[in-house]
Amino acid sequence: MYNYKTHGTCSRQINFDVVDGKLTNVSFVGGCNGNLQGIGALVEGMSVDEAIDRLKGISCNGRPTSCPDQLAMALLQYKSQN
């Protein structure tokens, strides 16, 4: 399980696994529970690169980041370490 501490969002942490280059077990700590469960379900089985491409740069209420963008940042960090 990979853990990422978020920055600039209501959620505090993102947890996920990567199996054969695909996302699994994505969960968020804090934030908008229903929406974040939805994001986790939508990216389940998606390749790391596709998730980054789809989620990077999404903002929330005028903030420079969002929970989806933070997931992209987490995945980029994961890729740089693995």
pLDDT per residue as tens digits for the range 5-40: 999 999 999 999 999 999 999 999 999 999 999 999
Amino acid 72: pLDDT: 98
Average pLDDT over all residues of the chain: 97
Which DSSP state fits 45? T
- Tell me the three state secondary structure of residue 23: strand
Confidence of residue 43 (pLDDT cuts 50, 70, 90): very high
Give me 44's structure tokens.
Answer: 């389940």
Tokens of 33: 């529970």
Half-sphere exposure of 31 (CA within 13 A, CB side): 27
* pLDDT at residue 36 in the model: 96
In what helix (H) or strand (E) does residue 19 lie, and over which residues does it extend?
strand 11-19
Give the per-residue pLDDT at 51: 98
pTM summary value: 0.96
